[in-house]
Amino acid sequence: QSALTQPRSVSGSPGQSVAISCTGTSSDVGAYNYVSWYQQYPGKAPKLIIYDVTKRPSGVPDRFSGSKSGNTASLTISGLQAEDEADYYCCSYGVKFGGGTKLTVL
Amino acid sequence: EVQLVESGGGLGQPGGSLRLSCTASGFTFSTSWMDWVRQAPGKGLEWVANIKEDGSRTYYVESVKGRFTISRDNARNSLYLQMNSLRAEDTAIYYCARDFAYAQYDYWGQGTLVTVSS
């Protein structure tokens, strides 16, 4: 099982939108609608922000949205805020986690 | 309030053993799949093992098969990870997490640090 592929880093200015991709295969991301996303601050545990590809847990701002096309899932953060600066991980049933993406808010 | 509290981390010798524990509260532990996920220093998340609600099925990442054993005690709302034949590459923060549906994790502990070094 190989990890899902994410960009190592992305950046954006406050108010902008950024997208983080998560590429797998037809055996994992492409096969199941069980993709989740996690936000992690340094020294803290991960926090679930998207599940079932597009759903948000209670309390997660609607600035965070998820989607999927074929073997690639995406997390989009709109109206970027300074507090969004963190590491983001995708996860798919069957293969587990992506390598993580560091989001920098410029 | 949901809580997952890990314990048992520390310094382990190469080839030695450690036993991690995770105590759950605030949700129905006995009807939840539970997982261990680790994070090496400065690295990403890696799934380690999981266990079915009743303990009847367990799964492991290839690199720990035959060395680590996941178990649970539903009467004590507790999850365990017995780690034997420790290697330097096992050095990581170990999190316990609840798998609420198909490898999606809604509750996480604060993590416990395992350092394998002589």
Query: What burial class does residue B4 get, using C-beta atoms within 10 Å of its C-beta: 0-12 exposed, 13-18 middle, 19+ buried?
Result: buried
Beta carbons within 8 Å of B32's beta carbon, 6+ residues apart:
B24, B53, B98, B99, B100
pLDDT of residue A3: 81
Rounded to whole angstroms, the Cα distance separating B35 from B26 reads 17
Give residue A2's pLDDT: 65
Helix (H, G, I), strand (E, B), or coil: what is residue A85? Answer: coil
Structure tokens at B102: 């198909």
In this prediction, residue A94 carries a pLDDT of: 79
The number of angstroms, rounded, from the C-alpha of A61 to the middle of its chain's C-alpha atoms is 14
A7 forms beta bridges with none
The single-letter code of the amino acid at A85 is E
Q: Which of B56, B25, B21, B26 is nearest to B36 (CA)?
A: B21
In this complex, is the C-beta atom of A51 within 8 Å of any C-beta atom belonging to chain B?
A: yes
Average pLDDT across chain A, whole number:
95
Q: Are B40 and B59 in contact (CB under 8 A)?
A: no
**Stretches in chain A below the pLDDT threshold 70:** 1-2, 95
Per-residue confidence (pLDDT) for residue A98, from 0 to 100: 95
Contact A75, A50 (CB under 8 A): yes
As a whole number of angstroms, the distance between CA A96 and CA B87 comes to: 22
Query: In this complex, is the C-beta atom of A24 within 8 Å of any C-beta atom belonging to chain B?
Result: no
Q: Which residue of B37, B46, B104 is in closest CB contact with A36?
A: B104
pLDDT per residue, tens digit, chain B (118 aa), is 999 999 999 999 999 999 999 999 999 999 999 999 999 999 999 999 999 999 999 999 999 999 999 999 999 999 999 999 999 999 999 999 999 999 999 999 999 999 999 9
Give the pLDDT score at A55. Answer: 98
Nearest by CB: B47 against A38, A51, A96: A96
Round the CA-based radius of gyration of chain A to a whole number and report it.
13
- The three-point CA angle A57-A42-B78 to 5° equals 60
Q: pLDDT tens-digit profile of B85-116?
A: 999 999 999 999 999 999 999 999 999 999 99
Question: Closest residue of B to A99, CA-based?
Answer: B44
